[in-house]
Amino acid sequence: MSRIRDVLLPRAEMGPMLDGFGRRVSYLRLSVTDRCDLRCSYCMPERMRFLPRSEVLSLEELHRLALGFIARGVSKIRVTGGEPLVRRDIVDLFRALGRELGKGLEELTLTTNATQLADHADDLAAAGVRRVNVSLDTRNRRRFEELSRRDMLPQVLDGIAAAKAAGLKVKINTVALKGINQGEIADLIAWAHGEGFDLTLIEVMPLGDVGHDRVDHFLPLTHVRDDLARRWTLTPLSDSTGGPARYCRVEETGGRLGMITPLTSNFCDGCNRLRVTATGQLYPCLGGAERVDLRAALRSEEPDASLQHALDEAMRIKPERHHFDISHRGAEPAQPRHMSVTGG
């Protein structure tokens, strides 16, 4: 039983969120922690300094915040991190949000590295989660340890198997990395499709200082697609899951392949997303510095009204697009904050 109490908000007076470019925001990526039990080299340095726990929103605050977004037309919430499943009692939040399904919320999902997923898959399914995105860049144990700086591939694969057994739909997210997993991408796709999983490839994003130059590992997905097209028949699809991926079907495997291309093919024109950090900072754009402090709103004397005013401000400042660039050596990250801080 969830220990988070339901909160009633005056939804009838609240309209949907529209930004200055006419885009309707209906998708929230809600980070519950910046902590992670892996240290993937493209995401963070080995000696990552995490936020003090005192700065992180409580589960009750995260729940109240999510309800405020649902009241404004958000129909899909993805819980993210860091690694969300390392947070104590996180299933309580899923249970509380799951009670909103069919009452404005249409989909509740999470992104995870799957190291803890075997312990939580059944509870997540019972809470109303139907789909999980699993970040997995290699199935080679030595390469996984080198990339993540942790020898945890067996736990990840056990977590994926547990999710499948629990009836959760699994999508694999793979960051394409030149010189690291480039030669394994086709095999990863074939494995995922053989398991009945979609797989989405992602270009590495220039967020946060990771101690090395990302240009060394940037692999344009235009090149990857050309390589795959020499091996397989790729049929474009009009499918959309609410995110930035563009899909094709691999005819020989029968599976679906997505590509997220923040650098080689900007996808911002249809952006319907907002990201909130575990400290309650709302970033209207992953690649932008614009932000609104929702924690201050939640802790004000009139939290519901302050929250709605903050969401209106977020719509006002949401930029048209990001400006990621990994075109030359020595370039500064697009933003100093790491991906684990903003949430995937």
CATH of domain 11-342: 3.20.20.70
Binding site, by residue number, is: 29, 36, 40, 42-43, 78, 82, 111, 135, 171, 205, 268, 271, 273-275, 285
Separation in Å, CA 181 to CA 114, 143, 188, 258: 19, 8, 10, 17
Under 8 Å between Cβ of 189 and 224: no
**289: amino acid identity, one letter:** A
Q: What is the pLDDT along the chain (344 residues), one digit of tens a residue?
A: 567 777 666 554 568 888 877 888 899 999 999 888 888 877 777 777 777 878 899 999 999 999 999 999 999 999 998 899 999 999 999 999 999 999 999 999 999 999 999 999 999 999 999 999 999 999 999 999 999 999 999 999 999 999 999 999 999 999 999 889 999 999 999 999 999 999 999 988 655 444 445 566 778 899 999 999 999 999 999 876 656 778 999 999 999 999 988 655 555 566 788 999 999 999 887 766 688 999 999 999 999 899 999 999 988 888 765 555 555 555 554 455 455 556 65
pLDDT at residue number 209: 46
Residues flagged as binding site for [4Fe-4S] cluster? 36, 40, 43, 268, 271, 285
**H helices within the chain, ranges in order?**
59-71, 90-98, 117-127, 141-148, 153-165, 185-194, 221-229, 294-298, 303-317, 339-342
- DSSP code of 285? S
Q: CA 224, CA 273: separation in Å to the nearest integer?
A: 27
DSSP string spanning 137-170?
Answer: --S-HHHHHHHHSS--HHHHHHHHHHHHHTT-EE
φ/ψ (deg, to 5) at 161: -65, -40
What is the per-residue pLDDT for 208? 46
User: What pLDDT is attached to residue 40?
Assistant: 81
Query: What is the Cα–Cα distance from 187 to 29, expressed in whole angstroms?
Result: 30
Binding residues for S-adenosyl-L-methionine: 42, 82, 135, 205
pLDDT tens profile 329-341: 555 544 554 555 5
Residue list, annotated binding site for GTP? 29, 78, 111, 171, 273-275
Please tell me the predicted confidence (pLDDT) of residue 220.
Answer: 87
Residue-wise burial string across 248-258, b where 16 or more C-beta atoms lie within 10 A, e elsewhere: bbbeebebbbb
Q: Are 19 and 284 in contact (CB under 8 A)?
A: yes
pLDDT of residue 90: 97
pLDDT tens string 166-200: 999 999 999 999 889 999 999 999 999 999 999 99
Q: What is the spatial distance between Cα 137 and Cα 187, in angstroms, rounded to a whole number?
A: 11
Give the separation between CA 10 and CA 93, rounded to whole angstroms.
21
